[in-house]
Amino acid sequence: MNKTDLSSYLHSAAHRKDPILKRILWFYINAFIFKTSWLPFNWPKVQLLRLFGASVGSAVIIRPGVNIKHPWLLHIGNHSWIGENVWIDNLVSVHIGNHVCLSQGALILTGSHNYKDPAFGLITAPIILEDGVWIGARTIVNLGITAGSHAVLAAGAIATKDLEPWTVYQGNPAVKIRSRSIHPNTQN
């Protein structure tokens, strides 16, 4: 029986085409501006993301403590919110639509490892969060997931398959619990 052999893993194979200086510069900008809470202002973060190749719409809110792996693989639509301590681990494309809310501590994971491969090979797939999606606090969205328009992933849930539009999901793995409806002028 074969055993795991991490010495044969190819580190950073997915991003060798990205210039090393660009990756190093982003590492420090991400660490000192995005992942910290000392810069509460939004506009410098949006401008830095755009400078590094991200597509960022208007009126996007990026809270403190956000970790973004590769901004050049990120698209954020208009009026979307990225909450405190969200981690966008985008080894490949992440598309966040308009009016999307990523709540505190959400993990957006485009990569994993092949546990059947002795070298623990990297597996990646893009993530798409369509317009109006709400990804709740402390959730995980796994690689290859598409969350349909206005889907909700409730706090603490783990998405292991696509989320249907206008549907609320909960649990681990996330399961459909009800349809979502939005009523104007309602509170609580």
- Catalytic (active-site) positions: 113
In three-state secondary structure terms, 168 is strand
Distance CA 188, CA 184 (A): 12
Distance CA 34, CA 161 (A): 29
Residue by residue, DSSP assigns 54-89 as -EE-TT-EE-TT-EES-GGGEEE-TT-EE-TT-EEE
